[in-house]
Structure 1
Amino acid sequence: MGAIADIDHKFLWISVKFPGRAHDSRVFRSSRLYHEFARGQKAGILLADSAYRLERFLLKPILSENRSEAEANFTEALCRGRVVVEHAFGTLKRQFQSLHTELKHNPTRAAKIIVTACCLRNLCILTRERPFSEEESIAPQYPEAGDEEAVETDTVTGSDVRAAIIDRYFRRT
């Protein structure tokens, strides 16, 4: 499953079209949403992990051991931002406990169950339904240099966008 969530843990986009072993970056690159961002039809910036390809609309952490202080601060902030999607999944699984384990259904039915659970979770958020216990806080995961598995090649414009954000918000003058 691929997903994008907002700060309120609402699922803005989900994909259940690929088997569980499909890499998240492949799922996203195959989506209509990716192509809309790539063509400039969608605006905004998405936060991703290091396995994704850096794009002008998709930022990922800098894992280099010799990164600057500004780059380290950027990476820390990005990882704190990315934890939102982990919280969204955690809340979803707490509310729909059957999602904690393998769904014993055919793929089509399992996909419908997941989509329905995400829609119901979003409805709970929109109607301000009292949240489930969130005692199990999920800490941001900070990748280390060398942690890159199945890393895609970054785009030049993605590198330029990330460098501009670091210069503007994370470099001390």
Structure 2
Amino acid sequence: MPVLHLAVLLREWGEYDVANPKEEQCIQRFRLDREAIIYLCRLLEEQLSGRSNHPLALPVILKMTTALSVLASGSFQRVAGDALHISQASVSRCLTQFVDAMLAHTRQFVKMPETPAERRRIKLGFHRVAGFPNIVGAIDCTHISIRTPSVNENVYRDRKRWHSINVQVLCDHDTRILSICAKFPGSAHDAFILRNSSLCQIMTELADGDTWLIGDRGYPLLPWLMTPFHNPTTDSQERYNHAHAVTRSAIERTFGILKSRFRCLDDSGGCMLIHPDKACRVTVVCCMGMLRLHLPTAATSSTICDQIALFWRESAFNAAAPNKRLWCVFTHCTRTSSSSSEKCGFLVRPEFAIIAFMFHSQMCHYILELEQYLGQ
């Protein structure tokens, strides 16, 4: 039944072609493919169905996709409700129920590597980037803008004088989120969040001299946390800082992909118009949604689209100097077009393609220049 309900739902959105259904319709609207949505429907059916036997009660698929559309677009709840002919209050309830249901399965989606084999796989992945050994995760914090709280307003002001929550994220080399801590206001320092998170205790117990995290200068140097030199004076320190920066770029890519996929977290469209506590819960659920590629039925090709779109947005390509070499900040590259990029909800100019080759030379992968391929 979830397949039939999803087809009807997409038809209500005005994007469903019965004769030729397209997978990208689900990904554009909900940031999840069809099989992942059905998987989550079955996983959350008990929590979302509730005990109501009312004939007008919203079905599980409608509750979940309504919440996903709000998270993916970052638009007002009333806009999402008008598209499905439901009220703004119903959209708010759908979002709350979906978030609470997903949080009950947090450990299923976001968890640290538990076995030596898993840690070895992550260490090998980081080592292939720039030769940095024994790294099991890249850590950093990002600010999620929120509206001005009515209580303790000054606590939520960050260094840029905006109101936000400061979210700590740990990821591996493939941008898989391993740990998240979203419960501190914007005024909290990154090091303070780390000291008061469960990750600090986990790494302290796990530290064996060959298992490290990698972080920026905002963190202190710890037996299990590698930070860069503040003022490098020798060539070896310069090489260390360079390898450190290239390896740590995984967390920056993760933040870029996360905020591009779930626009409610990006401040380009404004702040989150919800209570800070609910904003923290929504942020955790969005991080869980980052793992759609690791669901049993999810496709892996969308990772490439995410990485290409992120590279295109952040590379600041200068058309007047096409021979400029750029550092490769992702591990997979392929030709892209507007159709493949739209599957992930990104806008990439179709007249350019990224042609990249990876070289295991010294500490970095190089990327060849972007070249124009239409008409060539």
Same fold (TM over 0.5): yes
The one of the two structures with greater contact order (alpha-carbon pairs below 8 A, sep at least 6) is 1
Aligned residue number for residue 152 of structure 1: none
SS at match of 1:84: helix
Does 2:226 match 1:54?
no
So what's the TM-score if we normalise by structure 1? 0.73
Q: Could you tell me how far apart the structure 1 residues matched to 2:187 and 2:293 are?
A: 29
Q: Could you tell me how far apart the structure 2 residues matched to 1:129 and 1:21 are?
A: 38
Q: Could you tell me how far apart the structure 2 residues matched to 1:76 and 1:16 are?
A: 30
Aligned residue number for residue 323 of structure 2: none
Aligned residue number for residue 37 of structure 1: 203
SS at match of 1:4: strand
Which residue of 301, 313, 322 maps to 1:136? 313
Q: Could you tell me how far apart the structure 2 residues matched to 1:17 and 1:91 are?
A: 21
Q: Could you tell me how far apart the structure 2 residues matched to 1:129 and 1:104 are?
A: 33
Whether contact under 8 Å (2:207, 2:224) holds in the other structure is no
Does 2:181 match 1:4?
no
**2:237 maps to amino acid:** E
Aligned residue number for residue 261 of structure 2: 95
Q: CA shift at 1:125, angstroms?
A: 4.8
Q: Could you tell me how far apart the structure 2 residues matched to 1:79 and 1:23 are?
A: 21
Does 2:253 match 1:84?
no
Q: CA shift at 1:5, angstroms?
A: 0.9
Q: CA shift at 1:124, angstroms?
A: 3.0
So what's the TM-score if we normalise by structure 2? 0.35
**2:206 maps to amino acid:** G
**2:302 maps to amino acid:** R
Does 2:191 match 1:25?
yes
Whether contact under 8 Å (2:168, 2:181) holds in the other structure is yes
- The percent of aligned pairs where both chains have the same amino acid is 24
Which residue of 45, 60, 63 maps to 2:230? 63
Q: Could you tell me how far apart the structure 2 residues matched to 1:40 and 1:88 are?
A: 24
Aligned residue number for residue 112 of structure 1: 281
Distance 1:111 1:129, change over 3 A: farther
Distance 1:125 1:136, change over 3 A: farther
Q: Could you tell me how far apart the structure 2 residues matched to 1:26 and 1:62 are?
A: 20
Aligned residue number for residue 3 of structure 2: none
Whether contact under 8 Å (2:207, 2:223) holds in the other structure is no
Deviations 1:3-51 (A, max 9, x none): 1111111111110111122111111111121112123368721111112
Distance 1:7 1:77, change over 3 A: same
Whether contact under 8 Å (2:217, 2:227) holds in the other structure is yes
Deviations 1:108-137 (A, max 9, x none): 110111011100111235532613323224
Q: Could you tell me how far apart the structure 1 residues matched to 2:195 and 2:301 are?
A: 34
Instruction: Using the TM superposition, name which of 3-12 and 126-135 deviates more.
Output: 126-135
Equivalent residue pairs, number:
141
Q: Could you tell me how far apart the structure 1 residues matched to 2:281 and 2:206 are?
A: 30
Aligned residue number for residue 144 of structure 1: none
Q: Which runs of 4+ in 1 moved over 6 A?
A: none
Aligned residue number for residue 163 of structure 1: none
